[in-house]
Structure 1
Amino acid sequence: MRLSRLGSLHQCRLSFMRQLTRRMALEGWHFTRTAFEVDASGVGHAVYTATGPDRSYSLVAFAHDLPDHLRSDRVIAEAWDATFTLFDGVPGTEDIARLSRNVPVQEAGRISESELSLSRANRSVRLWTHVVDRLAAGQQPDAGMIAEVGYLMRTTAVYGSGKFGAADREVIAGRAEMAAPFQAEMLSVYLTRWFVRDMVEHMARMKGGARAVRLEPGLARRLGIGNSTGLGMAPFLVNHPMLVNNWILVRETALARVRALPRAAPEEIALFRDLLARSARALDHWRTEHPVQLAKLAALKADLATLLARAGTDLGRDHPWDRLITWAEGALSPEGQELLVSLVLEPYGPLVDGLGPCMAAVEEAGFRIDGAMTLAQLAALIEAHYPWALTTDWSAPAATARAWYVSEEKLEPRLGERAEEPIEPYEQPLGPGRDAARLHAALAGWPGDTTLATFLLHHPEYRHTARRVQIAAKAPYGELRDNTLAAEMLPIDMLRAKLSFFGATSFDPRSDRWIRITMFAGAPYPPELDSANADFWVYPEATA
């Protein structure tokens, strides 16, 4: 749970995108475009409906004519090329009219419990223009340019779980198809990708008329949905300890199951080697200019060369996966080690896929403070779960150089420099290590048999920290074992950890505070989805 380790995680077969596509293929979901009312200037709306065994969900998309000077990836933008909501069911005429007044203005509007998500996206102008022009002229776009950019549109936010009036998580948590985390948001993005392909082909027809051609299916599948994610997502890992614990615990449980296997069947070894080779070749399409990620990619390329040689000779012995993981701990970088963890899970769907719904959590289960606990017991928990925090010199300026706060304008998390900005009075409780050390020091002046309730009556300022310590005892993977206030802390590590569980690829940090990724690149489009292509699409470039 160190940030440098979490910042090296990769997607795996338990990632939320792949859980979604596997389930939809297994259950034979049906997909239809139920409306596409977009004019020649690219303005209008469309509806895409996904129907499973028990119910339907519909993406309602609004296309806009956005002037170039208004296009921005910033969360504070007020206009976008397209806006979306995922509707619970199939919308009627009155629903479309209501949504047309609210969805295009995003935060300035209001959606209802009939909607499960709210999102928006902007074009990658250079690639969008290129693809439209080529298709309008009866030609296919340049494959190299598609590989370089990777998406025609990128989302700047996909909101769910009650935000802006959308349905709370509890409304859908009991549905089998929504049991795993973020399935509504992933479905929204998956259907958005279908809309984007239809839109670029529509604009090409409007420009080229009879000469225009459709995007070749192989090229279309290489295109994902881009995403720009900033500091707004970073505190998630701190604020949802029960949920994060379950994500990591399930992944570690899956890995433990695979490591315990006494033998690997020939077909399992063959699949692992195939996906390893495809991963190595796909690495050539991973673009970044950030120095931290460039160094990690250089190490990963060397790791994969080493791993390819090792995997060709050493998988026929007993407990091959345990041997390989143990070897990697001393031979590969963290980036290479974590990719290997993802790859060894791949041949074992029947062994690990059933764990997916266990990644959800009822956060309220950890909220009640056990006031009967003695202070001696609480101090022992801090010593067990926060040893790194107790050995940190919190008086050193570098240890608390940063402070998290919420911006007044957009109510979004921000990170400031404590010594340079007057932000300390507005600081959010996002430094659990420092707070645990403060609590431990405060307990020293009290008798060990004093109850926690008595202590908190005198010191209510420690309530949130006492709660976190008790949660850490029940959910040991729920707490970052690192200093989130340190001068050298990289928020992009927190962003990547969460995005890897979504199933994102092509991590491209643009600074230490925001990152671009690609979602569903290589996936079949909804009308093409079947059991043969529902899973390993995440390795697309190597098969092109």
Structure 2
Amino acid sequence: MVYRKTADKEERARHGSMQLPDYLDTVLSTFADAPGREAVFRWLRRPEDCMTALSLSTMKATRLSFAPLLARRIIQERWRITRVRFHCDSEGEGHGVYRIDAGGHVLTYIARCFRWDGIEKAGRRSDGASRDMFGAIFLGVPDEARIAREFATFDLRDVDSMRTNSDVTGWTPASRSARFFDHVVDSLAAGRQPDPGILGSGTGYLLRNGGYLGSGRQGSLSFEGIPEDHPFHHPFFADLFGLFLIRQVSIDLVNGIAAARSPHAVKLAPEIARYIGVGNSSGQGMCVALQRWPEWVSTWLTVRELALAYAKSQPANADPARAERLSRLLARASAYYASIELQCEDYVVPTDVLATNLEVLRSWVAQAAHSQAPWGELAERAAAAFDMETVEQLNSLLIETYPEFADALAPYIPLGARRNRDLVADMRVGALKALLRTRYDWALTYDMRPSKTRQHFWYHSIDNGEQRRGERIIDPHEEFESFIDHIGLIQRLSCVLASYEDDAPVAEVVADVPELAYGVARVQYLSGLPYAEIRDNLLHRDFLPAHLIRFFLGVLGIECTSPLSIRYVRGVFFQGMPLPEEIALGASEDWIFPMQPQATPLEGAVA
């Protein structure tokens, strides 16, 4: 895969008319004078250059992704995660209770761990398989009777029959990674540290996320019920903090099992514990979510692309410390990719290739640091020479090189995600036609006549509890199709509007063809938003769901996305993040791309 070269300077100048949301425009004006603003707009990428499924799939996590945003808040506010009690037997059967002091808010986390049943559970629901661990996050401090009731609920181990109360923000089911989990326990019980190389071959996790259950599911507190001043009022923070707590449970669990098995056991060394993350495997339902909430996509991409354009617009020789930071980040990323071993599909660039390319880029940074040219020219040189994965990793690190600007944009993310989706009934048909012409020309000219363009459909499977993709004519359930065909929707809307006078209200159209109400509202509420629609046909025979899954996971902040197939993607969260005891004392925020630890076989404290 070769990255399409950015438009020439004249095209970039024409692109400078892109309208930013007021909040982001104000931030930009704070950091850049008039010429600086013009330079930023010249480096903003066009939607057609970065919004195809393939382009989106190569985007890497940045400091604007949700997990790094949460991590910085945890570290800056020095959240205290205190283990009130944790006990398990030699097989991992046990209970844990934790208190969290989170920036003036108190939370309680409980964990119920079960003996492993010998079944590897890789997916979110895993066809009904019982999870190896269940956790619950409480707002406040529940009494012992309430905790006991929740533990009794977990003992059912059947999500469909389990219920909680609104004092719980969500459940955190998880499952063991059998090979790595057993290796760590066996090593600790034998009085030695596990082999970091073995952990690195699996991107370093012991427990795998089983799918956060919150936002009203199973009786949990809805998102609207979370107080506005609470950290969990930020999108995805409750889900991701649940993953961070799974990480801590995984560390306590292997220590506890090893201690129960042997009086000579040692605890996991801090440098290895810090290297541990949380595994994750996500499926094709993410594609449906992205289509259902295009304003989220627009918000995420607008913030990301603006941060990237700002970094690209800066002269490379303006600040030697910036160039040195970028060089260090490239070195760390290269070493990280070189140290991990991932099963790789043929449409994903292997990690060893990424590692080599990033080392070459380091030498280019050293050259660019003596030039007045902006960093964008380095990015264009990379785009002409390397694959899209390498270029997007460079883009991610360019954003990291100017953290103060990216951090100033971050508060817009929860604001931009809230969008009034109501239909504006008194809009004139002529105005709606104009929106279609100016913003959806790419969809209107797409040829949907060949059968391959509609070969697939999505539906929500009751059996699996998730979205599944079927093939028309061959698979059943087509009558339960989930919305994913934004191109077809726009084309149908355009055809219907052609039969109405321009001065007619859109209310008349909706009254005549009510099934188009959503299409009308979608075009209206996305009006003016940059990067609002994915420029691909998700029904097409050749569409790979893994492309958009990788994008969504990158937005969440996952590292090392490795597709297991065209439908499932795995990766790891929070690998390298400081441990709770380090956070309480004041830890560094600079933890991405952790180096594989070099612990000796006998390192570790007696458990």
TM-score between the two structures when normalised by the length of structure 1 = 0.94
Question: Bigger CA drift: 443-452 or 66-75?
Answer: 66-75
Tell whether 2:56 aligns with 1:6.
yes
Query: 1:74 offset after TM fit, Å?
Result: 5.2
1:241–1:475 CA contact under 8 A, matched in 2: no
Matching residue within 446, 452, 473 for 1:392? 446
Matching residue within 125, 131, 149 for 2:178? 125
Matching residue within 75, 81, 86 for 2:137? 86
Match of 1:353 in 2: 407
- 1:13-162 pair list within 5 angstroms: 13-69=63-119, 71=121, 73=123, 75=125, 76-103=127-154, 104-149=157-202, 150-162=204-216
Cα 1:286–1:381 shift into 2, 3 Å: farther
**Alpha-carbon distance in 2 for matches of 1:88, 1:133:** 36
**Alpha-carbon distance in 1 for matches of 2:368, 2:506:** 54
Match of 2:291 in 1: 238
Tell whether 2:377 aligns with 1:327.
no
Structure 2 unmatched runs, 5+: 1-50, 599-607
Residues 132-152 of structure 1 deviation map (CA, whole Å, 9 limit, x = unaligned): 111111111112111112211
Matching residue within 581, 584, 590 for 1:536? 590
Residues 340-396 of structure 1 deviation map (CA, whole Å, 9 limit, x = unaligned): 111012232222213223111476633111111222221221222222222222111
**Alpha-carbon distance in 2 for matches of 1:312, 1:91:** 56
**Alpha-carbon distance in 2 for matches of 1:173, 1:255:** 33
2:63–2:399 CA contact under 8 A, matched in 1: yes
Tell whether 2:529 aligns with 1:475.
yes
SS at match of 1:211: coil
1:405–1:427 CA contact under 8 A, matched in 2: yes
SS at match of 1:538: coil
1:101–1:109 CA contact under 8 A, matched in 2: no
State percent identity of aligned pairs.
Answer: 31
- 1:75-474 pair list within 5 angstroms: 75=125, 76-103=127-154, 104-149=157-202, 150-172=204-226, 174-175=228-229, 177-208=231-262, 210-262=263-315, 264-295=318-349, 297=351, 300-301=354-355, 303-318=357-372, 320-361=374-415, 365-474=419-528
Opposite residue 526 of structure 1, the aligned amino acid is P
User: How many pairs are equivalent?
Assistant: 543
SS at match of 1:244: helix
1:84–1:118 CA contact under 8 A, matched in 2: yes
**Alpha-carbon distance in 1 for matches of 2:355, 2:84:** 45
1:31–1:526 CA contact under 8 A, matched in 2: yes
**Alpha-carbon distance in 2 for matches of 1:427, 1:433:** 15
Residues 11-33 of structure 1 deviation map (CA, whole Å, 9 limit, x = unaligned): 11112222222222222222200
SS at match of 1:433: helix
Query: 1:485 offset after TM fit, Å?
Result: 0.7
Opposite residue 184 of structure 2, the aligned amino acid is V
**Alpha-carbon distance in 1 for matches of 2:85, 2:474:** 53
Query: 1:10 offset after TM fit, Å?
Result: 0.7
2:124–2:282 CA contact under 8 A, matched in 1: no
Residues 47-104 of structure 1 deviation map (CA, whole Å, 9 limit, x = unaligned): 2222123111222111012311474535132411101122112232122122113344
**Alpha-carbon distance in 1 for matches of 2:224, 2:182:** 42
Cα 1:504–1:72 shift into 2, 3 Å: closer
**Alpha-carbon distance in 2 for matches of 1:160, 1:316:** 51
**Alpha-carbon distance in 2 for matches of 1:74, 1:365:** 29
Cα 1:309–1:522 shift into 2, 3 Å: same
Query: 1:293 offset after TM fit, Å?
Result: 4.5
TM-score between the two structures when normalised by the length of structure 2 = 0.85
Opposite residue 305 of structure 2, the aligned amino acid is E
RMSD of the alignment, in Å? 2.2
Opposite residue 84 of structure 1, the aligned amino acid is G
SS at match of 1:62: strand
2:458–2:470 CA contact under 8 A, matched in 1: yes
Query: 1:176 offset after TM fit, Å?
Result: 5.6
2:345–2:565 CA contact under 8 A, matched in 1: no
**Alpha-carbon distance in 1 for matches of 2:230, 2:309:** 26
SS at match of 1:307: helix
Residues 206-256 of structure 1 deviation map (CA, whole Å, 9 limit, x = unaligned): 111x21111122122221110111123331211122222211111122223
Question: Bigger CA drift: 296-305 or 115-124?
Answer: 296-305
Match of 1:499 in 2: 553
SS at match of 2:184: helix
Cα 1:457–1:296 shift into 2, 3 Å: farther
Residues 317-342 of structure 1 deviation map (CA, whole Å, 9 limit, x = unaligned): 33532332333343332212211111
Matching residue within 561, 570, 576 for 1:522? 576
Question: Bigger CA drift: 198-207 or 524-533?
Answer: 524-533
Cα 1:472–1:408 shift into 2, 3 Å: same
Query: 1:118 offset after TM fit, Å?
Result: 1.6
SS at match of 1:50: strand
